[in-house]
């Protein structure tokens, strides 16, 4: 079956010549999308900041357990993401 304007074929990519600023407000100043590399860098920074908070004026170790646990969970998510990005789809 031939592709039409209303119903593009599965193998063809739809090309959008203009992005409506009502749908994507950031398109008005030239950027539209996500920046996953920036989010990964920020996530690693947050994990390191959580580990740096272990050094402090608290007496108990409960805070340390939570800080290390949250930092490990963030690091685990980013490692899992790195493994998924390397796998062919």
Count of structural domains within the chain = 1
- Looking at the domain assignment, is residue 73 inside a domain? yes
Residue 5: pLDDT band by 50, 70, 90 thresholds? low
- The string of pLDDT tens digits covering residues 29-41 is 666 667 888 899 9
- Looking at the domain assignment, is residue 8 inside a domain? no
What is the pTM (predicted TM-score) of this model?
0.61
Query: DSSP string covering 21-63, please?
Result: TTT-GGGGGT--S--HHHHHHHHHHHHHHHHHTTSSS---SHH
- Looking at the domain assignment, is residue 1 inside a domain? no
Report residue 30 as tokens: 């030239």
């Amino acid at each position: 079956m031939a592709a039409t304007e209303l119903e593009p074929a599965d193998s063809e990519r739809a090309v959008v010549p203009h992005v409506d600023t009502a749908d994507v407000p950031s398109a008005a100043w030239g950027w539209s999308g996500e920046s996953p590399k920036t989010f990964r860098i920020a996530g690693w920074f947050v994990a390191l900041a959580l580990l740096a908070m272990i050094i402090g004026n608290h007496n108990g170790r409960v805070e340390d357990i939570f800080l290390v646990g949250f930092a490990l969970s963030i690091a685990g998510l980013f490692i899992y993401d790195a493994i998924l990005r390397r796998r062919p789809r």
